[in-house]
Amino acid sequence: MNSWEKQLETNIAEVLFDEAALSQRVREIAQQINADYQALDIDELVVVGVLRGSVVFMSDLIRQLQLPLTIDFIAISSYAKGTHTSGMVRILKDIGAPITDKHVLVIEDIVDSGLTMQHLFALLQARAPRSLKLCTLLDKPSRRQVDITPDYRGFEIPDVFVVGYGLDFADQYRQLPYIGTLKPEAYQ
């Protein structure tokens, strides 16, 4: 282990979900999504990943889906470099293709206050998809400020700041193969 890897590891207070738990839960979510959309006999599912945090989760998830699908990405932000939402939602990159009359599944890393997803869903609903659902790896309902409930979720977590498996702090820790909490001194 090099010094950079040691620094990352020493900043982790606790591992909440290891690789095995993440892999198992992704398989379970995929089975549920497969069953729900196969029952609809859809022509195509548009999977929209919310950049950048969802990339690892989305990559693992779509490999488990047994559906005709296309993928797209949107970049939306409500965080600066801190650990709490700023409340200011910005579209940094929009999806590239129309979604009118299509089944759309948004893939997110974490739903916290719900403000970002509320804004994103209003934007996407205005484009008249046939259906619009939300799949999140992590759900933090104790911080919810608006009424939004994921259709699919991996894990409910308490009000702690998490990193790894795509989630970051100041653009670090995304590559960790697990989800853990940061020691307070790592972000203060």
Kindly list the catalytic residues.
Answer: 112
Listed residue (54, 26, 47) closest to 110, CA to CA: 54
Measured CA to CA, the distance from residue 61 to residue 17 in angstroms comes to 16
Measured CA to CA, the distance from residue 135 to residue 149 in angstroms comes to 10
Burial profile 24-52: b = 16 or more Cβ within 10 angstroms, e = fewer: ebbeebbeebeebbeeeebeebbbbbbbb
